[in-house]
Structure 1
């Protein structure tokens, strides 16, 4: 087990295995998002209360799910880096942050657009929206910390600590609609009960969620490979890979 973990933390091994995995995730992302998007936006029935305005759910919900999941992944990678000093974990955390910030912005913006026909306003300072805004600021803080130190190790440690502390915001986002009064609707997905939506509305949403996660994995693999080449440029295997000789 420890041998596999050590192997998984090897930049050279990760670079090789990710090259084989990445095309599969790109294909899955394109196929799932294309099928789910066309199905949800064009063929799913309109909501009996919200009409066609509900269709923004096919972007809003996957983006919100992914924004939270990426931060959890960053916190886990930061923990691995701080405890076991596996630098590949820090590389992955570094490349995840901009994508997580982008997904959080998409979730906030799409939620604001959805709020106009549903609530009659772009924004409300309720628990779910405010905690998602805090998540966006946490992402910005992590990215800023990585550029605020002259030492890469100091920047990595600071960003890892902020991610591990900030992850406490994730359960607040998830349970905010249960703990406080909020305009936001309850969770769309639940592992303990049947979906509230009919199957022809729920299935394309599931495809979109899976497509967004496939996209995240593909982008993370691609950007981590680039980060490996940048940080490991002095290693022999990298120089041989790029054709600079031994």
Structure 2
């Protein structure tokens, strides 16, 4: 058999499984503890290496260590919005129920990562810039991103009819994706106090390996934590959306019988 046809059949089967609320719920139940354990292991490892093993920065001293929370949070704030916008577009085009669930459940998680990035950035900026806040291009655009997350959540909850709420939320998510490249390139397009790319810089990372390794571990840990929290939130939303379905009633009954 043609290997391309094998891959296509696998992707098609996976797509249809993820598109089904019942199948997604089963997959999420299996993957949630895995993502949770991986997240915990990576974050603990990264935090230990970053706080206790990495050397102090020659200019910023130990204050640079907040990078191990700030950078992963900032990275996730952009990644989550991108996932949310792509899921919203898939939901709009193919009317996939689970795409809307992923988009809606991603919004509050992205808002938390964005708020954490702004808070840790302010804490880091105080000793370096001498102020808690400045209307720098990167900071200002990241603040706009936080408002976009709030807007997506408010838009969804502003409508009683679920399909209308999903469409309105999806449209705002898709339109707002323009903020992601603006944030990413803000330090290049405008005069900025914020430092440029360090990890994904042109020519390779600009950090020694004993500083870079814990940072990469923390980024990976934050990514798995997002997956863990997304699966938990999506399971709850699926059960609520599909509460009238036969499989949900059977699941509730079986859970009650087992207790």
Same fold flag (TM > 0.5): yes
Could you say what secondary structure the match of 1:218 adopts?
A: helix
TM-score, normalization by structure 1: 0.97
* Alignment partners' CA distance in 2, 1:3 and 1:52: 50
The total of aligned residue pairs comes to 245
Offset from partner CA, 1:196-243 (integer Å, 9 cap, x none): 111100100000000000000011111111110010000000100010
* Alignment partners' CA distance in 1, 2:201 and 2:122: 27
- Counterpart selection for 1:38 from 43, 48, 53: 48
Q: Map of 1:193-208 to 2, 5 A cutoff?
A: 193-208=203-218
Q: Map of 1:1-246 to 2, 5 A cutoff?
A: 1=8, 2-190=12-200, 192-243=202-253
Could you say what secondary structure the match of 2:71 adopts?
A: helix
Offset from partner CA, 1:58-102 (integer Å, 9 cap, x none): 000000000111000010010011000001111111111111001
* Alignment partners' CA distance in 1, 2:15 and 2:202: 33
Shift of 1:194: 2.1
* Alignment partners' CA distance in 1, 2:16 and 2:48: 43
TM-score, normalization by structure 2: 0.92
* Alignment partners' CA distance in 2, 1:35 and 1:158: 41
| Structure 2 residue ranges without an equivalent (≥5) | 1-7
Moved over 4 A (4+): none
Q: Is the 8 A contact 2:86 2:174 kept in 1?
A: yes
Q: Is the 8 A contact 2:43 2:221 kept in 1?
A: yes
Q: Is the 8 A contact 2:88 2:174 kept in 1?
A: yes
| Structure 1 residue ranges without an equivalent (≥5) | none
Equivalence for 2:3: none
* Alignment partners' CA distance in 1, 2:14 and 2:204: 38
Q: Is the 8 A contact 2:199 2:212 kept in 1?
A: no
* Alignment partners' CA distance in 2, 1:36 and 1:4: 33
